[in-house]
Structure 1
Amino acid sequence: MSELFERQLIRAKRKVSLLEQMIEDKTRELYLEHSASERSNQFLNKILRSMPSGVIVTDPNFVVIMVNQAISSLLKKSESEILGCSFLEVLPVRGLTNTIIDQRHELLPSEQAEDLLIRPGDQANIPITYSFSIIRAPDQSIEALVCLVSDLTEKKALERQLLQSQKLESVGQLAAGIAHEINTPIQYVRDNTVFVRDEFRSLRLLLQDLRSCIDDSSTPQAHDRCQKIAARMAGLDLEYLLEEIPLALEQAFEGAESVARIVRSMKSFSHPGSTDKVLTSLNDAIENTVTVSRNEWKYVAEIELNLDPKLPMIECYPGELNQVFLNLIINAAHAITERSSSYSSGKGLIRISSGFFNGQVVITISDNGNGIPEENRSRIFDPFFTTKPVGHGTGQGLSMAHATITERHSGEILFESKTGLGTSFEIRLPLESDHSNFQTD
């Protein structure tokens, strides 16, 4: 009996020892897994903290549950000030409400990206871009939402520098033509002022003789002086001078006005502009651009302006729109030049119109050039795409025009083209600036 008990005890001890070993192994395994998980969490937190983009994680109800250092720095708020807030309190995103999650727990749309202006505290506005991604549970319900936020300050500054560089490049390209445009009125200003100067010398001598005659009218020499004055008047052809001098002065005035208009247009066109939108007359902007680009189109085309005199002013970046108008006008002139070289016809026609329709300011620039080949139409707004020879185009004009209209002004730029008949570009700009993307105090 004791022997049986002893064997059972030995078996029990073995089982206990085996269980202890299993527990020890499992404990070690759990410890290693926990340590690995801790290291993984620490590593992920380091990655999160080191990311240059801001990260905001929310629950399905848009309550912020996690942020990184970048978003705290961007918003000038501590992590504790952001956690627990509604996402809309942190970033005022247009059109995003807590109701975009429907009853099936699907985000509509599943992803979105947009630019935004925020104002952290008393700081200046900061341009950002944000995008959403969704973390789903195994049952496809939304577990969390992750928002990536990037500061666009440097990018926007580079874009402005690039735009200004392109504008200055355009000014350089137009300089010779502008000098020619100024030279013509300056020439007849000079010629007319020389004419007035020379004739005034003769008139001055005549006036001096008249004064002497008046002073000496009672003397015997008066008759001789009158004869001298009569001879001088006959040589001067006073009727001609009385007619031509006012005309010469008028022409000189017109020439000076022409030069002043070109200089004003050039000054307006090349001005670096404000970093904020300003109320602008697009009719004036178009007329200024037509003036500074005159030498680019006057030999190949006529320009027909049909600008609505009642066109309302809009909030915009005028310097950027000037560049868009210039690119489209020069492209139209080049298209007409290509058509003329192919079909040997007379001057072409560039039509520019402005109007107000359905709450939008609409600018149309059309030409009767050779049109855009069908195979190129889907690519004309692509950066660096050009069909022009090397040295005649960078492929940036229409790309930057598209970005300026759509991204900077929330507008549209559309076009229609028929090969051999011409192209028409239509720019649509909202009348009222959308201030809902500004965070205010």
Structure 2
Amino acid sequence: MPDSQLKTHQVHVLSGNQCDHHPDQQFAVSLMKILLASGSRLNCIERFMDMMHHTFPDIQLCLFSAHSESRLSLICSRPQVTDVASERFFPVLSAERCCTINDLMSSEVWKVSYADLFPGVSQCLLFSTNMNTRYYTLMVISAAEDVEREPWFQKFCYTCEIIHTVSEYMTFVETHFEQAEHIQQREKFASLGQLAAGVAHEINNPLAFIMSNYNTLNSYFSQLRTFIGQSGLVLDDSVTFLLEDSEAILSETYEGLTRIQSIVSSLNVYEHESVGTQRQIDLRDVISTALSMVQGEISLKADIEYQTPDEPFYVIGYPARLQQVIIHLVVNALQSITHDEGRIFLHLRSEKAVQNPGKKIIFLVIEDNGKGIPEDYLTRIFEPFFTTKRVGDGAGLGLSVAKEVIEEHHGQISIESVVEQGTKVLIRLPGLACVTGENDAF
């Protein structure tokens, strides 16, 4: 919720000069140790809030995390507020990094969403920052009439400056490593693309001859069976067995040839030639087409649960490549199901980008109730040729291909899995806020 919902005189932006008059090196070191500590995010947050409460015992501290562009969720507070607060969303009061907001009881936003938790409060202090790719807002509630005149105010502003400096440092480091990793990954895929193109070419040539000969042989066999049926010849058991076994062998041969074709097709994804041009596409169409291509295989082993949304989900990209990703992921989910009650869930939704007004992020979730992936394998599943499947069930290219394609579309893909419970794949793609007809509109 933007500042426009509050009157201009209510929001007082705090300048950097107000935050530099309380040097306390020991406190700063202790705070930075907590902010830069390894371990779970929630543990770090709890330690941070405990330290803040110990340092500022006379104020109420509430830490919010951005749920969307206009909504916050309460993740921690000192002292603890009612548990009900953690189950609901709160509107954003201000987009300023650090500010005080006065005369809160004159604001309908405050009265509707916050006043029941903080009765009688007329002023609050807000500090917002990015930390580890997440957007946080720290709210300070005090009974004082003017928090800027309180003895703790300067030290609190000093604390906010430390947090902001650490967050900028962490963002810089993360960006640097992401760029270095991206360059390394692109070089790896470029080398792999050259290798894959050569291998695919060498396999495709003999495969074309084999496939042609197979089709001819299969046609001859069908003619032979038709001739025997029309002639009324009575065959002994040995001949009947040969005919039936030959038919089974031809069927298995075709399955093996199509598997080879599928593997070669996967290799060709690393080759970036002749991919066409990017265009505006509706992900609903991409998903429907992909599911129709594997529906026959799915119907024998699992139920698909997918409700096509009413509104379009537009992105800029290559529809064939995105279809291939969805096919890979659905087939992977199918192959992980080893029981008779298999289910594959697909869900498509969107949210506004937290820090980019006018843009939105599209989320595609593909989830199954299969055997899951061991935790030790989760860090390697996107490596080319790494597979947890038995020999013959896959070449270990599906997920590496999916990651390459999604990143090519400026998106992200992540996987969560629990053994014997199932696997969830989350794809994030930059969406079009509106249909403009332009290929580069976001």
- Relative to the length of structure 2, the TM-score reads 0.37
Larger Rg: 1
Give the structure with the larger helix fraction: 1
